[in-house]
Structure 1
Amino acid sequence: MAPILSTHDLALAFPTKHGLVEAVRGIDMSIENGEILGFLGPNGAGKTTTLRMLTTLLTPTRGSATVAGHDLATEPRAVRQKIGYVAQSGGLDPQERVRAELVLQGRLYRLSRTEAEARAEELATDLDLTDLLDRKCSELSGGQRRRLDIAMALTHRPALLFLDEPTTGLDPGSRADLWELVRRIRRQEGTTIFLTTHYLDEADALADRLVIIDHGEIVAEGAPTALKEQYGGSPDASLQDTFIAITGHGPRQEEDAPIAV
């Protein structure tokens, strides 16, 4: 079976008064059906820019991509019909009620009123939103808003779900709940998930495979266990448990202690 997503030399440069700035410098990667891919990198590495190209929000400067069986450049509408996208900032109307947001999303995807209402109830049950259906979005906690964002992205049963740093700003309990939700979506819906994050523990806990980007280029990729073995950590340890001990040498060596980095 062909990958659900593949790219070749995908790049984007922004014009500035000082010339072109290459935000993404030529990405080659693929995602298999049913996979959770962790797209990992520091802030400013090019994660969100790459994701916005793949979701048709930005036009690549060069390169090509196939998303859910459709060409990114020539079939953008077909791509959008096959994907779900949850942006970092979300997209909720704070004065609207949860049920109305879900039903409106269904109607935008051309479900009948009856179908949209039924899908809203189904998603509310699956994502633990049933008790919140009559609340305004402004009354939801950060974790509840994130679950609603994801529910809306799943309205049309996409084959591929893009999550852009979905746990940023959440407390530890809400982060853990969202991790379990991501696993459940893949398990119950069979959805392939493209997850961008800069949290090592999140990538380690969720991803089947990691693609690590820095300065707009892929610098490493592979399963979390393989990457830990390759870069010096124990395969049983968390990605963030790997450290380098630095010990000083000189007259005061006896007072120096190893520094974990």
Structure 2
Amino acid sequence: MIKIAHLAKRFAVENPKKLSEQEKKDPRLKGRYFHSVKDVSFSCNQGQVLGLLGPNGAGKTTTLRMLSTALKPDHGEIAIQGVNVVEKPLVARQKIGFLSGSTGLYGRLTGRENITYFGQLHGMQADAIEQRIAYLADLLELHSFLDRRCESFSTGMKQRTAIARAVVHSPEVVILDEPTTGLDIMAAQTVHTFIRQLKEQGTPVIFSTHHLDEVSELCDQVTVIDAGVTRFNNSLSAFKALSPGSMHQAFLNTLQQGA
């Protein structure tokens, strides 16, 4: 289970005078600090998929980076399978599979070498890494390019390899930041299948997306963040009930309520 309560994170602004007019009008800008996340709370139980929604700049990626231990929150609590992420980030990190917005693959290494390297970082033995790669290669359809250098990969190849690398250690929770952005229909469908497989295994999954059809197809829970604040946090059916027949209008309704 993943539980987040009242997260907050601010960043210092080096030179406020260089901000654009739009940035200066953002209510989260307070003096020399930009409060990217002000008050975000949600939870995701075993076997659930939670879709994290919000306009660009809402604070979704900052929230996920705090959840993954990449950033330390200024306030709030994060618990993963009962482990306090803020107090024990190294312990929590072993339980997390995190795919950031950038794949970050080492271009001169093959896909297999990238995945193997991260397995080694997690303390896995060679045989266990080999077996895990074979399983993920089947699930994510990696076989045709797994032993090529990543610098030659298409966007879809990079994304699928990055997902395999993120979950090579069989994490207890999986966090995906816009995993299907830039993918064609077939590559996106492979990612969807993978998310369903995780759900069947009882693994909690949180993923951010701008595609509401993905939310409708995959999610049990929906959380909407706007201007660094949770505007909606409930079941998919409750989200759809905000505007029956139109997921887009349901999303807009949550933003208007917080305006």
Structure 1 and Structure 2 fold alike (TM over 0.5): yes
Shift of 1:242: 6.8
1:232 to 243, 246, 250: 243
The residue aligned with 2:42 is 29
Is there any run of 5+ residues in structure 1 with no aligned partner, and where?
245-261
Q: Which residue of 2 aligns with 1:255?
A: none
Specify the alignment match of 1:199 in structure 2.
211
Structure-to-structure mapping, 1:92-241, within 5 angstroms: 92-187=105-200, 189-229=201-241, 231-234=242-245, 239-240=247-248
Deviation at 1:185, TM superposition (A): 2.9
Please tell me the residue identity of whatever aligns with 1:190: G
For residues 233 and 87 of structure 1, the distance between their equivalents in structure 2, rounded to whole angstroms, comes to 32
**In 2, Cα distance between the equivalents of 1:106 and 1:127?**
17
Distance 1:241 1:30, change over 3 A: closer
Equivalenced residues, count:
236
Deviates more, 1:130-139 or 1:57-66: 130-139
- Separation (CA, whole Å) in 1 of partners of 2:202 and 2:161: 19
Stretch of structure 1 that moved more, 170-179 or 193-202:
170-179
The answer to whether 1:49 aligns with 2:62 is yes
Give structure 2 stretches of 5+ with no counterpart: 17-30, 253-259
Match of 2:5 in 1: 8
1:177 Cα shift?
Answer: 2.9
Hey, what's the Cα distance between the residues in 2 that align with 1:84 and 1:170?
20
Deviates more, 1:125-134 or 1:21-30: 125-134
* Alignment CA distance shift 1:175-1:122 (3 Å): closer
Give the match's secondary structure for 1:96: coil
1:81-107 alpha-carbon deviations (Å, 9 max, x no partner): 000000111121111112212221211
Alignment deviations for residues 167-197 of structure 1 (CA, whole Å, 9 cap, x no partner): 111223322332222212322x432111011
Corresponding residue for residue 75 of structure 1: 88
% identical aligned pairs: 36
CA distance in 2, matches of 1:67, 1:94: 32
Q: Secondary structure at the match of 1:162?
A: strand
CA distance in 2, matches of 1:100, 1:208: 35
Structure with the greater alpha carbon radius of gyration: 1
> Mean Cα displacement is larger for which, 41-50 or 116-125?
116-125
Tell me the CA shift for residue 243 of structure 1: 11
In structure 2, the CA distance between the partners of 1:121 and 1:39, relative to structure 1 (3 Å rule), is same
Q: Secondary structure in 1 aligned to 2:120?
A: helix
Aligned to 2:144, the other structure's residue is in SS state helix
Q: Which amino acid aligns with 2:232?
A: A
TM-score (norm 1): 0.84
Tell me if structure 2 keeps the 8 A contact 1:224–1:239.
no
Letter in 2 for 1:208: D
